[in-house]
Amino acid sequence: MNRVVHTPSSAPGVDEVVTSPGGGYHRTGTGRPAAAHVQALGEDEGSDRMGFSDLSRMSAPARDPSAEPAAPPPAALVAVRPGAIILARHGEPALSRKCLLTADQYRDWWAQYEVGGLRAGQTPPPELLAAAEGAGAIYASTRQRAQETAAAVAAGREVMSDALFIEAPLPPPRFPAWFKLPPKYWGAVARVWWHAFNHHEGQETRAQAELRAEQAAQALIARAESGQTVLVLAHGYFNHMVGKRLKADGWRLVHNQGFKYWSQRRYEKR
């Protein structure tokens, strides 16, 4: 019956040696010749007792240990290229903007806007669909308009909903009742008052929103640095705030579709 002698683990690339009762041997694998290793086994374990003495004399001349090739170094770690971060705005909401409103009326309008969904009959643009298809992770704000956008874009894939990505508040300033504007312009006025004059009416302040934007940016960076492209389906101004934090951390805006509905902004690590 053949006997298998396993080489020590400290000798990389050495073959298994198989001996037979008659003293014959052969080697397996692709390491150094078995005869050379048999000689080493005779020296370490007693060649006469194991029946290897004759084989040792038949083996090739002993090599200078210093001439042996060095063991290969451990495999180097392979750097992973970060994925992109894509910040997309939701589709067009169902709530009409074709109206004139006082400041108080706009306040009520915005409250409805925050809980409403999308206008029916919209189709996501092909470029955004392609971005979703190529993304390794998809996030969405918890607002209904963002959730419906995600459902239209993700095509059944998993979407991670997170209130971290909701829009910054838009409380309008206290203007006289005779002063009326369309919602589009009220949004601009309210944003200036919130940003420049810290007008928040007990809601999230600019400083608080900036801290939230930093937290969102770091969460996205951590995901992208694993090599995944990340898509976020959220809101125009808060996406802008997150984008500023990405730029501060060394990410470059490489594709910009502005603030329109269904638009996207793509950031890549410099």
Q: Quote the percentage of the chain above a pLDDT of 70.
A: 71
Task: Give 159 or 270, the one with higher predicted confidence.
Answer: 159
Give tens-digit pLDDT for 5-57. 444 444 444 444 444 444 444 444 444 444 444 333 343 444 344 443 443 44
Which CATH topology does 85-269 take?
Rossmann fold (3.40.50)
Phi, psi of 19 (to 5 degrees): -110, 150
| Intervals of CATH 3.40.50 along the chain | 85-269
Q: How far apart are CA 209 and CA 76, in angstroms?
A: 42
Give tens-digit pLDDT for 202-236. 999 999 999 999 999 999 999 999 999 999 999 99
Strand duo 230-234 + 85-89: pairing: parallel
Q: Tally Cβ neighbours within 10 Å of residue 153.
A: 25
Mean pLDDT, the chain, rounded, equals 81
Give tens-digit pLDDT for 94-124. 999 999 999 999 999 999 999 999 999 999 9
* Model-wide pTM > 0.75: no
SS (H, E, C) 107-136: HHHHHHHHHCCECCCCCCCHHHHHHHHHCC
Lowest mean per-residue pLDDT among 39-53, 157-171, 232-246 = 39-53
